[in-house]
Amino acid sequence: MATIAELKSAVKETLESRGVLSQLKARIRAEVFSALEDQREPRPPLSHENLLLNELIREYLEFNKYRYAASVFLYFYMLF
């Protein structure tokens, strides 16, 4: 019978191989940032220039394989 450590390791390896673990970590980070963000202060409206800049930032993060940063950025970007 497998030990808890072996089972934990097997689950972690499976989630990593499927790419799910990185998505879960990024989602947790995004939720932590969202909880810490002051919800009382509204964001300014998104101008066309800022939309273009956000897209350039997203492309830069994805091009350089900053997957965690990109997923957190996209989480907040998609809220508005």
Render pLDDT for 62-79 as a digit per residue (tens, 0 to 9).
Answer: 999 988 888 888 877 765
Selection from 57, 18, 20 nearest residue 74 by Cα: 57
Residue 61's pLDDT band, with cuts at 50, 70 and 90, is: very high
Instruction: Report the alpha-carbon distance of residue 34 to residue 54 in Å, rounded.
Output: 18
Residue 62: which residues within 8 A CB-CB, separation 6 or more?
70
pLDDT at 43: 72
- Full residue range of the structural domain in which residue 40 is found: 4-78
In tens, the pLDDT along 11-60 reads 989 988 988 888 888 888 878 877 777 666 777 788 899 899 999 999 99
Domain total in the chain: 1
